[in-house]
Amino acid sequence: MTSIEPLSGSSSIIDILDPADDRIAAFRDVRERDLTRSGQFIAEGAVVLDQILASRRFRPVSLLVLRERLDGLSARLSALPAYVPIYRAEREVFDRIAGFPVHRGVMALAEPVLASGEADVEAALEATLESRGNIVVACGLSNHDNMGAIFRNAAAFGAGAVILDERACDPLYRKAIRVSVGTVFTVPFVRWGSAAEIAERLSSMGYECLALTPNAADALRDIRDIRPRALFLGAEGDGLEDSVMSRCRPVRIEMAPGLDSLNVATSAALVLHHLAFPARS
């Protein structure tokens, strides 16, 4: 009972009438699933899909699209490679597949093109050193909203790469992808070892490692020279271990008296903006 019709481009559109259809198994109960073991992941929304198509590190495997959204997406969809099937479903079937009412109406199953992003990141780190730019190191962050927001801010202020320590959560988790507005697909990232090892390695490459701490002598606006820097971010609450802090230059974000409460991704935005666009003197 499935009709298949060619798109104006090259992919085929396949109607899905049964939520139990095996071909859309990856999209089923998407909130409960963790596909990360297979290396594949689900991305939602047209903007995020654009970022996957713009990335050379990830590729779409298949799409699930709400029937009524198909026309609005046709320009994007005709840019898809021919091997990517587009599954189309009515709202009722779509929501039953996803397991909740989906607003965006387009989901992509995607996967990394390279087994590891290591080479890509090495190139990004070299380029960032060369241009005296900045990178971000996310240590022990367990909140996917914060992880996504860190990528969004890294992209906004041109950070060259994001390095994850062994404990940081997965940027390709559904919620992180959504909050990042798809920038997890365009900002190169890689997972290295412990935060202290990362600080060691980046320092030896020529990066100045920065860490935020309310008691630092230097405020953000005291940092006025331009050089390659790595901003270390710890989990809200726990912060960074001493073994990492001792390898970093401490810096503080000035706040109203009596307050020391700022979201970790917001802190990253303040530092990255300042480093990328220092005040004119």
Judged by CB under 8 A, does residue 219 bind a copy of itself?
A: yes
Assess 256 for contact with a copy of itself (CB under 8 A): yes
In the set 176, 181, 248, 275, which binds a copy of itself (CB under 8 A)? 181
Does the protein bind a copy of itself through residue 281 (CB under 8 A)?
yes
Q: Which amino acid is at 206?
A: G
Strand ranges of the sheet holding 134-138, from the earlier edge strand across to the other edge: 189-191, 162-164, 134-138, 229-233, 208-212, 249-251
Q: Which 3 state secondary structure label does DSSP give 46? A: helix
State the alpha helices, DSSP H only, in 84-143: 91-98, 118-130
Residue 196 and residue 102 in contact, taking contact as beta carbons nearer than 8 Å = no
Q: Does 269 engage in binding with a copy of itself (CB under 8 A)? A: yes
15 vs 50, beta carbon nearer a copy of itself: 50
Told to check if 150 binds a copy of itself by CB under 8 A, we report no
* Alpha helices (H) along 13-136: 46-54, 74-77, 91-98, 118-130
Task: For a copy of itself, give the closer residue by CB, 118 or 218.
Answer: 218
Largest CA distance in the chain: 70
Spatial separation of the C-alpha atoms in residues 247 and 10, rounded to whole Å: 53
Of 77, 153, 174, 245, the one binding a copy of itself by CB under 8 A: 153
In the bound state with a copy of itself, the residue whose beta carbon lies nearer, of 152 and 229, is 152
What residues make contact with a copy of itself under the rule CB under 8 A?
149, 152-153, 155-158, 181, 183, 219-222, 224, 253-257, 259, 261-263, 265-266, 269-270, 273, 276-281
